[in-house]
Each structure stands twice: as structure tokens, then as C-alpha cells.
Amino acid sequence: MTPSPAWAPDSWRSRPAAQQPIWPDEDELKRVHAHLTGLPPLVFAGEARHLTRALGQAANGRAFVLQAGDCAESFAEFSADAIRDKLKVILQMAVVLTYGAGLPVVKVGRIAGQFAKPRSSPTELVGGETIDSFRGHMVNDDLPERSARIPDPRRLVAAYQQSVATLNLLRAFTKGGFADLNQVHAWNQEFVASSTEGQQFEDIAEGIDRALRFMSACGINLTAEDSLHEVDFWTSHEALILDYEEALTRRDSLTEEWYDCSAHMLWVGERTRQIDGAHCEFLAGIRNPVGTKIGPTATPDDVVALCERLNPERTPGRLTLITRLGADRVDDGLPPLLEAVRDEDHPVVWICDPMHGNTFSADGGRKTRRFDDILAELTGFFRAHRGAGTWPGGVHVELTGDDVTECLGGVEDIVEGQLDQRYTTTCDPRLNARQSLDLAFAVAEMLRG
Ligand code: TRP
Ligand code: MN
């Protein structure tokens, strides 16, 4: 296919590019770019094609997507334990959804590359001084000081290195025994296991044990069934900093097509999805599965135009639309979008991001989200799809494996006064492990109808 007459990894440069940092040292940026261009890819084109096929199942109503991870990964909180704990909660959610809905779950992490953040303002006021906004550890540091906020191109290489190490460990865990269904009890962390949701999870884990014993007793050789012992776990992040994404874009030697090898899947955000802008131009030419966030200002025409631009060949699984309308707007806003895309016969994966349309500042100034609003947007999402006869293909959530207090509510009922206790995110508030599990049970229920 030909996205633009002469697409190239750098053709985005002739378009307006929103949300790019102003790097103070252009020569340093050029050196870093050249260096990254020579480094090995993180993923292989064949894997991206494999994910497109898996997502194609979700476009056709035969699978469900779980896309989950940090709002922003952090250089400071980088450890094997943190990666393991995040994977644990994602595996728990996947099991709950697979078991509860009886559907294959496509597991996609917001991980191993999610280091850049779009901002509503390029600067902020700290103690009377105007300094650059924090744009993610790929660009600058979150410390509220002028010098920490100066964009540093060497951070692109650090982000690459951390992504490499993260993906390496994820591959080890998911293919090396940690994700084995025989380990299902081990994913229930202590502070989760003691809770109601944790108990409910143990019930499912016992159900799985029993099913495995049953199959074994029937004479099925479970050891030989690879699918019981490992999972396909895909990586994704927002393709925001195009200097980075361009440098990791390579031509596949088998097909001669271009792939952004920084992750399996890439998406553009609500602030960078301009149809003639640099980000859409970049996504249009890479062959990875791609996505776009869809916020409350998007019209049916906008959404159809995005489908034409990003998936002119109508390949199922190529394009995912991630809606983030807010609990109070989903009922009115979503149906017209679903109908327009349906009537144009565009095969898309519809995913609900119930996080970003439901953020507000609590009295103490902390950014937070109410668990009930998150569930309400999900309920509206399922209702709208039922009405339009389209498939609610997945969820996109920000979570952590840690026992944080960043989102309000849930079974443990975190209240505003508790936000300060364990509020560690570098950007948006994330669901903690118990709230995440809670959400998975609720979604499994919605999928059963
Ligand atoms: N491989 C299957 C799948 O990914 C079954 C499976 C193995 C699984 N380990 C898992 C499912 C952990 C969810 C979570 O669906
Ligand atoms: Mn976020």
C-alpha cells in the first residue's frame, strides 16, 4: 500500500508535529539519532504481523484485548520486582477475563517504551518561576526544577536501553514458566490474596486446577501443550517522540515493508491525531498494528477519516480505536461513532480507555480518578456496542502491581484523604493491583452480558 506517494520513515518531518520537545542541542540530537539507527530492533516484523492477526480476531468478535500498564514508565522506578509485579496483575486480569468470558485474551502491555507524555501546556509555574513541563523520562526529568526539565537527547538512548531490558525480562517470564497456568496461584500477591477480590481469584485458580486435572485424567498430555505453559505478551506505547520512532523504523527483509521496531503496536494520542499531522503520517507508513485515541471532541467524520488514513486497505487488526469519552459522555457520544465506522465497513478493534476521560483534581491537588466513574464508562461502552451491533473488543487501563493509593474507591474504598499515603505515579493516577482485579471481574461480567 502507498500511504503517501513517497512515504519514508522521515516523511513526517514535512508535516506539523505537535508535542515535540525543543531540544536545546540539535547536534546532540543528530548524534543520538544516528546512534539509535544503528542499534538492534526491539521486536521483529513477523511478531508485529502475528499481533495484527490476533487483533483481527478482536475486530471480528472472536477475542478480547487487554491493554494495560503504566501511564508513564519511570527511569527511577525500574526494577525486576516492579516488572514482575505488573506482569502478575496483568496475567491475573487475563485469566479472569479468559475464564469468565470463555474468549481468547490478547495481552498487550503499555510497557517497554511508554516513556513520553503529551502535555496541555509546554511550561508550568513552580514557585513563581516558569519552567518546561515534564514530558516523560525519554525527554526530561520530573523534578520541579528548571535544569531537570531541559530536554536531553541522551535520554532517548536510556529509554531504548530500559525498554530492551524490560522486554528481555518479559520474554523470559512469559515464555520461561512464570506465566504457566500451573503457576496461577503464584500471581496472587499477598496484599491481594487477603482481600475479597483475591479470594474470588483463588476460586478461579482452583477451577483452572480442576480443569487441568480433568483433562490430564482424560488422557491429554498437558506437558506437551505449549499454550498452557506460556503466553504471547505484546508491547505497545504512544508513538509521541517521532525522532525516536523514526530511528527504530526498519525495512523488513522478508516483505520490504517498513516496521517501527520499537514495539509491536503503536498508537497516537488525543492531542496528536491530526489527520494531516506528522504523527498520522508516520503511523500511515509503518506496517505494525496501530491505534488512535478518540476523545469527546472527535466527530463521526473525523473517526471515519482516521480509518481511511490509517487503514485504507481495511485489514482487520491493523487499526484499533481507543475511545476515552468520560463516564458522562459515553452514552451520547459513542453510538454515533460506532455507527459511522460500522456503516463504512471499516474493520476496527474498539477498545475502551475508561481512565483518561475521568481524571480530576482532588481537593489536595492530587490528580485522581473514581473507580465508579471508570466502571460507569465501561458499562456505557458495552451498552453502546450492544445497541450498534458492534463488538466491544477490549479495555485499555493504567495500572501498577504496587499497593498504591492513586485512584479513589474500589472494594477497599480509598478516599480523598488517603491519596497522599502511597501516591507514586510520575504522571496519571493508576489502578492498584486490587482495583485492577476488581475491574477484570466487572468486565468479565459485562462480557457475559
Ligand atoms: N496461552 C494461553 C493464553 O495466553 C493460556 C494461558 C497460559 C494463559 N498462561 C496464561 C492465559 C496466563 C492467561 C494468563 O490465553
Ligand atoms: Mn495517562
Atom of ligand 1 nearest to the CA of 107: 4
Ligand 1 pocket, 98 CB below 6 A?
yes
How confident is the model at residue 391, as a pLDDT? 98
Ligand 1 pocket, 94 CB below 6 A?
yes
Ligand 2 midpoint to CA 257 (Å): 31
Dihedral sign computed on CA atoms, order 84, 88, 90, 94: positive
Ligand 2 midpoint to CA 137 (Å): 14
Q: In this structure, what DSSP letter does residue 65 have?
A: E
How confident is the model at residue 449, as a pLDDT? 82
Please give the Cα distance from 1 to 287 (Å, whole number).
10
Ligand 1 pocket, 91 CB below 6 A?
yes
pLDDT class for 4, splitting at 50, 70, 90?
Answer: low
Host H or E run for residue 369: strand 367-369
Q: Give 421's contacts (C-beta < 8 A, 6+ positions apart).
A: 405
Quote the Cα angle for 179-170-20, to 5°.
140
Amino acid identity of residue 371, one-letter, is: F
State pLDDT tens for residues 55-111: 999 999 999 999 999 999 999 999 999 999 999 999 999 999 999 899 999 999 999
Residues listed for the chain? 449
Q: In the chain, what percentage of residues exceed pLDDT 90? A: 94
Supply 246's cell numbers.
523514526
Ligand 1 pocket, 87 CB below 6 A?
no
Atom of ligand 1 nearest to the CA of 227: 1
The ligand minimizing its distance to the Cα of 204 is 1
Supply 86's cell numbers.
505488573
Instruction: Decide if pLDDT at 2 tops 70.
Output: no
- Using alpha carbons, select from 164, 175, 291, 169 the residue that is nearest to residue 232: 175
Mean predicted confidence (pLDDT) in 241-250: 98
The ligand minimizing its distance to the Cα of 397 is 2
* Cβ pair 375, 355 in contact under 8 A: no
Ligand 1 atom 13: residue of nearest CA? 95
Atom of ligand 1 nearest to the CA of 229: 7
Supply 354's cell numbers.
475508561
Ligand 1 atom 6: residue of nearest CA? 228
By the 10 Å C-beta count (0-12 exposed, 13-18 middle, 19+ buried), 318 is classed as buried
Alpha carbon distances (Å) from 89 to 23, 97, 197, 449: 37, 12, 12, 24
Amino acid identity of residue 274, one-letter, is: Q
Ligand 1 pocket, 231 CB below 6 A?
yes
Mean predicted confidence (pLDDT) in 411-426: 91
How confident is the model at residue 406, as a pLDDT? 96
* Ordered alpha helix ranges (H), 73-231: 80-101, 154-175, 190-193, 196-217, 226-229
The ligand minimizing its distance to the Cα of 94 is 1
Atom of ligand 1 nearest to the CA of 105: 15
Q: Is 262 helix (H, G, I), strand (E, B) or coil?
A: coil
State pLDDT tens for residues 15-39: 999 999 999 999 999 999 999 999 9
State pLDDT tens for residues 200-241: 999 999 999 999 999 999 999 999 999 999 999 999 999 999
Please give the Cα distance from 313 to 141 (Å, whole number).
41
How confident is the model at residue 5, as a pLDDT? 66
**366-385 burial code (b ≥16 CB/10 A, e <16):** bbbbbbebbbbbbbbbbbbb
Q: Which residue has the higher pLDDT, 3 or 344?
A: 344
State pLDDT tens for residues 360-405: 999 988 999 999 999 999 999 999 999 999 999 999 999 999 999 9
How confident is the model at residue 420, as a pLDDT? 92
Q: Is 184 helix (H, G, I), strand (E, B) or coil?
A: helix
pLDDT class for 431, splitting at 50, 70, 90?
Answer: very high
Alpha carbon distances (Å) from 187 to 191, 400, 430, 432, 435: 11, 14, 19, 14, 15
Instruction: Decide if pLDDT at 426 tops 90.
Output: no
pLDDT class for 1, splitting at 50, 70, 90?
Answer: very low
